[in-house]
Amino acid sequence: MARVVIKCAANGPNLIELDGTVFAAMCRCGATNTKPYCDGTHAKIGFKAEAKEIVVSE
């Protein structure tokens, strides 16, 4: 089975990793113009959030 991990970047997007490779960067600030994907707006608006890691499957 594939290893799927969601890495919540500090002050940035949710990075979806599939077997160690980033598959997608999903917005978590809510201000992106390309929902649900990150377009870097978090840096412009000063979004702040802690880093986390969630293992979905091993």
| Contact between 11 and 42 (Cβ < 8 Å) | yes
List the one residue out of 28, 32, 19, 4 whose CA is nearest residue 53: 4
| Interatomic CA distance for residues 28 and 12, integer angstroms | 7
The pLDDT tens digits for 6-15 are: 999 999 999 9
In the chain, what are the domains?
4-57 (3.40.5.90)
The pLDDT tens digits for 13-42 are: 999 999 999 999 999 999 999 999 999 999
pLDDT confidence bin for 58, thresholds 50/70/90: confident
Q: Reply yes or no on whether the pLDDT at 43 is more than 90.
A: yes
